[in-house]
């Protein structure tokens, strides 16, 4: 069966420090991968989307970047965190789209990031 791992679960980082959040998927090949951020009182905001190794699409210009060095690994990074980067970060995967209905995405447990 497929599983998704995301870590760390919580993180407190000072302003200006770097960030690295990691997400891995097991039990499937060539998944589509996502990074979302959920701010209090707001819906999930798509940050990055990837259809394959080194194929990353950015949805929102910001202080963050993403990389996909391996098929089932997705990393969210920042060189210098801002206070506004605080939030709940979720990684998700889904089966590759075959051109038909866009099926459901499966989420990791999330990382609560507090920038202080």
Report the interface residues with other proteins, using CB under 8 A: 32, 34, 36, 41-46, 49, 51, 57, 90, 97, 99, 101-110
Give 49 or 78: the residue with its C-beta nearer to other proteins: 49
Shortest spacing between CB 15 and other proteins, in angstroms:
25
Give 69 or 99: the residue with its C-beta nearer to other proteins: 99
- CA-to-CA separations, 116 to 77, 96, 106, in angstroms, rounded: 17, 38, 30
Give 1 or 14: the residue with its C-beta nearer to other proteins: 1
Q: Vertex 88, ends 80 and 40: CA angle to 5°?
A: 110
The enclosing H or E element of 23 equals strand 19-26
């Amino acid at each position: 069966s497929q599983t998704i791992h995301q870590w760390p679960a919580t993180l407190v980082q000072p302003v200006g420090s770097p960030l690295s959040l990691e997400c891995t998927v097991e039990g499937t090949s060539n998944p589509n991968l996502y990074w979302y951020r959920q701010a209090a009182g707001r819906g999930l905001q798509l940050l990055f989307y990837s259809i394959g190794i080194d194929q990353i699409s950015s949805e929102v210009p910001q202080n963050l970047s993403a990389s996909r060095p391996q098929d089932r690994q997705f990393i969210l990074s920042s060189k210098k965190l801002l206070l506004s980067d605080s939030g709940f970060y979720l990684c998700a995967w889904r089966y590759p789209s075959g051109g038909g209905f866009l099926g459901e995405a499966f989420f990791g447990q999330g990382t609560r990031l507090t920038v202080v």
